[in-house]
Every structure is written in structure tokens, then in C-alpha cells.
Amino acid sequence: MKIKNSQFGEVEFDENIIIPFPEGIIGFEDLKRFIIIHDEDCEPFRWLISVDEPEVGFAILEPSLVVQDYYVRAGFDPEVYALFVIVTLSHEISKISVNLKAPVVIDKVKNLGRQVILENADFEVSYFLFG
């Protein structure tokens, strides 16, 4: 399968890496299928790209790279779930932030994705990385 977007050009991938998001992503509920692109030139960022609308994509990071003791819930098993936070990029480095309040959780066993809203009041929607 192939998609094309302005950032990565034409991307060829196997259909089995498509991650269904039955509820979509907040603000993009109509987009249900995504892939994760790992571009070494963009480390430590990865990219969650819509298969259905390839120009829609989100920079994502593992939350452990941002804050210590990021807690989702009791029983969260990193062997089963991959966890990412969505990054809001900016040309001004001081305005780059991550959404700690609503991480993206991917069930690696069922190959399903979901954005969840955490009840923890300590986690911010806009946690600035620099500044």
C-alpha cells in the first residue's frame, strides 16, 4: 500500500501495520486508520500519519522522554501497550509542547489505537518542552 504526503513524499508500507483508531483522534474523529512512521532523521519524534488523509499527521513522543513517573493507570503493561504523547510543533522552540493529558495508547496485541483522557490533574494539555 502507498500514501503520499508533503513531509515524507511517497511512503510504501504493508497493510498489516495500519493501526485502527475506532474513535479517531480528538478533533479528527472521522480519521480511523493510521500508521506510525519512524524517521531516524527526526529522532526522537515519530509520526502518526492518517492513511485516509495522509496530509494529517501528528508528531508523537514516548512520554518517558518528557517527564518522569508518567502514570496512566494501575496495571498498564508496556509489553502490551505502546504509549505516546502528541507534540504541538512550532517554529519558536519555546512554544513546542506535548499533550500529557490525552496520550495515544496502542494495544500491540490487538493492533488497536485510542486516544484517552487522563483524570490526573497534574498532567497538562500543553506541557512546554523548552522554556
Q: How many domains does the chain have?
A: 1
pLDDT tens column, 50-94: 999 999 999 999 999 999 888 777 677 889 999 999 999 999 999
CB 84 within 8 A of CB 104: yes
Give the global pTM.
0.92
Residue 120 has pLDDT above 90, yes or no: no
Domain that holds residue 27: 2-128
**CATH number of the domain that 88 lies in?**
2.30.290.10
pLDDT tens, 6-16?
999 999 999 99
Task: Please tell me which residue, 7 or 32, carries the higher pLDDT value.
Answer: 32
